[in-house]
Structure 1
Amino acid sequence: MLGSRRRLLVSMLFLTAASSPAFARPYPLGTGLAASADSAQTAGSNPAGIARFNERALSFELLYFSSESRWESAFSGTGAEFNTNSSGDTVVPRVALVQPINDRFTASFTFLGTGFSDNLGEWPGRYFIQSYDSVFVSAFPSLAYRINEQWSVAASAAVTYNRFEQERAVRNIFDPGFPDGLSRIEADSVSFGFGLSALYQGSERTRWGLTYSSEINPRRRADNALSGLGPNTEAVMRGLGLLERNLTIESTSPESIFAGVYHEFGNRSAVTLDVAWINFSNFRLSEFFYDGESFARNDSSYDDIYALSASYTWPAAERWMLGVGAMATNQMIDDEQRGMTLRLDAAWSLGLTAEWQWTDKRRVMMGLSYFGLGDAPVATPSIPGLGSLEGRFKSRDTFLFQVGISFGSL
């Protein structure tokens, strides 16, 4: 999922030797996660599925998100409007490698990631926040073990690099006539988590999958670069010790559980169904601590995310496989809790994909999906002289284009 200016990537990217022939299938993003286990991308969605491979497999994929939105709002005290029309484009590469070690053990390595950002411009609340950009990229090495013909399990490590930037205006209150200054906060860190997964092959055509990903809590030292300060304002801030204070930023990436089923019919068509729980109530975008004391604490109370996705794939010709899929989530935060910093709402998607069997061990995949987010109504705390800012999205659309190539087979 991604809103305008890369607001949300949501990436929901997070098994057993089969005795029947296996076919790789094209799944729209967010579908076929827990139990498909028919391409190298299972290294990121359910690593236990890599135990099905008896030779090396490699997958390269590019996800291109293009988004547009229209936001309309007004201040309750004055009626002054604050409206924006924005668009954004983001390219996300995904790489997955599967390497069998012996009859029991298989290793894999993949990159997964999410990111979100927004630029609120010259709005009256710019002294609290003007723009932010946060990116998480995870290297995900895994080791799978095939217990028997039905069961396989895997353990994974999540090595996550996080980069955070935020800008806010600084009012030159002691220098009348001076334009606003700027505070730019930058921080990055490397943090660690883990994952556990399992796959059960109930029959030649049916698989069940389950995955767990742990919570990750990056804590990093930050640099606060101030520019454009008037001489009097800078002197006062220095006298109060505001320019030399140590700054740290804490955030939380939530734990999650995915469960799903894959079933193949006699005509080679197949269906998948996945359900997910994400402990989003523990999510924190960023909390700032100056010399250990909290400042600008994020008090928004998010709701746990429950997601449901399904796909249907079928052979359209000798070398072509087609797929359709859909996904939906509940509302991620109550309307009265939502703020301007991260304007989330319920999400849904529809997608169409195709895969061409180039050679026996080489496939090309392409796809198009639409992601929709709710109107995310917001009513901010009152701003002196202006009142509360009340608004919502009038339109909010994201299109995803997928293209990828896979080498190797089951």
Structure 2
Amino acid sequence: MCQRLAIALLMAAGLHVTDVTARPYPGFSGLAATADSAATAGNNPAGSTRLEKRAIEVEAMWFRSESKWESGFEESGDPSTSKSSSDTVVPRIFYVEPINENTAFSFTVLGAGFSDDLGDWPGRYFLREYDALYISALPSLARRLNDKWSVAGSVAITYASYEQERAVANLFDPGYGDGKSRIETDSVEFGFGLSALYEMDAATRLGIAWSSQIDATQEGKNRLSGLGPRTEEVMRNLGVLGADIEVQSQSPQSVLLGLYHEFSNRHAVTIDGAWIDFSEFRLSEFYFNGQGFLASEQKFKDILALAVSYSWPVAERWMLGIGGMVTSQMIDDEERTMSLRLDSIASLGVAAEWQWKPDYCIEASLSYMDFGDSPVSTEPIPGLGTFSGKYVSRATYLLQVSLKYGG
């Protein structure tokens, strides 16, 4: 999440006014302590007290993913290779409205999700495709306590949906092709957050933001089709047909820390560190008519992330920035499953910002992201054997384009 918008800073309680230049921060750098544009509404709402007047930022994030997956049943000795590519566009809106010199309201809409479409691959009985979506609206109220400290409280209103499709083997009907199971669920959940900004001086500030855990319980139906008569009868006896589905998932709490410092030559550096309580994350646990059917037994690891950026002016109305991010591995190789093939992440990007008009800025950034090879090996499947696979190549390109107003 990047911040870049030209604004004027009015220090509270009749203190001095200092001009601040917004900067381009590529990818996921420049988060907790920059507080120089409307994007602070999503990264650290306490920073919205620094804005002298209304600020708005509208951004489009375009993710382009290219990957090659090699997998197969170990006993067959004949792995298959599948290539996939996908494009995802995520719009984001940030809004800050100062109420008075010491108080500001902010609002942002953010989205996150995991999805994959694997087609008729060998592991289709585990998963053919899935789509987990989380969209959060984050209204916040910030208050400046003195010339150093600002604090904010936020409410997270999150819409969560989960869709999954997998093949169903007609084991009791030889000669029949695969059937299909499709689960669709959704819900609306609530969480909260706290944030603070400490301004050491006009050039240096520290930020911290905490977000609570969100437990989502989604209700829906399991739609089965293409079943043979004997297989359908077995599933009816098991109570699977027509069952009410409940999918429980969990978004973990997180803490974001950041430092911003501007040098005398107007160059600036940011350092951000994040801790995500990912050991408590649960993608999905399935309950059919109240009975557990497929519990999530993956043991995730807490995520530690580090992001840095460096920005500098190159002309009267132009700023450039470079930045990168690395994270720890999110799950051990032996714990990984087909449902969520996560690994460590590394990214590197470049950004440019142009002050189009006194109140308008345009910024674009391009980042390369590597998500690791994510090797997977499953328990043996009766009659088929052990299934394993990994990414031979896996890369994502992130293009961000934003228009900023304010200041």
Normalised TM-score (structure 2):
0.94
| Displacement after TM superposition at 1:191 (Å) | 0.3
> 1:130 matched to which residue of 2?
128
Counterpart amino acid of residue 32 in structure 2: A
Q: Between Structure 1 and Structure 2, which shows a larger proportion of strand residues?
A: 2
Q: Kindly tell me: are residues 240 and 208 of structure 1, through their superposed partners in 2, closer, same or farther at Cα, counting changes over 3 Å?
A: closer
| Displacement after TM superposition at 1:75 (Å) | 2.2
> 1:5 matched to which residue of 2?
none
Spell out the pairing of 1:71-82 with structure 2 (5 A cutoff).
71-82=69-80
Q: Which of 74, 87, 90 lines up with 2:88 in the alignment?
A: 90
Q: Kindly tell me: are residues 196 and 170 of structure 1, through their superposed partners in 2, closer, same or farther at Cα, counting changes over 3 Å?
A: same
> 1:4 matched to which residue of 2?
none
Note if contact 1:220-1:250 (Cα within 8 Å) is conserved in structure 2. yes
Gaps of 5+ in 2: 4-8
> 2:247 matched to which residue of 1?
249
Query: What is the alpha-carbon root mean square deviation over aligned residues?
Result: 1.7
> 2:287 matched to which residue of 1?
289
Spell out the pairing of 1:4-153 with structure 2 (5 A cutoff).
17=11, 19-153=17-151
Counterpart amino acid of residue 140 in structure 2: S
- 1:303 lines up with 2:304 in the alignment: no
Note if contact 1:376-1:392 (Cα within 8 Å) is conserved in structure 2. yes
Deviates more, 1:333-342 or 1:378-387: 378-387
Deviates more, 1:205-214 or 1:177-186: 177-186
| Displacement after TM superposition at 1:229 (Å) | 2.0
Counterpart amino acid of residue 280 in structure 1: F
Deviation track 1:275-324 (CA, whole Å, cap 9, x = no partner) reads: 00000000111000112221121211111000000000100000001110
Note if contact 2:337-2:378 (Cα within 8 Å) is conserved in structure 1. yes
Note if contact 1:329-1:346 (Cα within 8 Å) is conserved in structure 2. yes
Separation in 2 of the partners of 1:241 and 1:298?
21
Note if contact 2:2-2:26 (Cα within 8 Å) is conserved in structure 1. no
Deviates more, 1:336-345 or 1:257-266: 336-345
> 2:364 matched to which residue of 1?
366
Deviation track 1:325-347 (CA, whole Å, cap 9, x = no partner) reads: 01000111111111121111110
> 1:166 matched to which residue of 2?
164
Separation in 2 of the partners of 1:68 and 1:287?
29
Note if contact 1:16-1:200 (Cα within 8 Å) is conserved in structure 2. no
> 2:201 matched to which residue of 1?
203
Deviates more, 1:71-80 or 1:51-60: 71-80
Give secondary structure in 2 for the equivalent of 1:51. Answer: helix
Note if contact 2:161-2:218 (Cα within 8 Å) is conserved in structure 1. no
| Displacement after TM superposition at 1:83 (Å) | 1.9
Q: Kindly tell me: are residues 231 and 385 of structure 1, through their superposed partners in 2, closer, same or farther at Cα, counting changes over 3 Å?
A: closer
Counterpart amino acid of residue 296 in structure 2: N
> 1:393 matched to which residue of 2?
391
Deviation track 1:319-376 (CA, whole Å, cap 9, x = no partner) reads: 0011100100011111111112111111010010000011111100011110011111
Note if contact 2:32-2:43 (Cα within 8 Å) is conserved in structure 1. yes
Normalised TM-score (structure 1):
0.94
Note if contact 2:223-2:242 (Cα within 8 Å) is conserved in structure 1. no
> 2:186 matched to which residue of 1?
188
| Displacement after TM superposition at 1:153 (Å) | 0.2
| Displacement after TM superposition at 1:12 (Å) | 10
Note if contact 1:150-1:200 (Cα within 8 Å) is conserved in structure 2. yes
Separation in 2 of the partners of 1:402 and 1:245?
43
Gaps of 5+ in 1: 1-10
Separation in 1 of the partners of 2:298 and 2:10?
43
Deviation track 1:242-265 (CA, whole Å, cap 9, x = no partner) reads: 213222100000100000110001
| Displacement after TM superposition at 1:268 (Å) | 1.0
Deviates more, 1:377-386 or 1:103-112: 377-386
> 1:324 matched to which residue of 2?
322
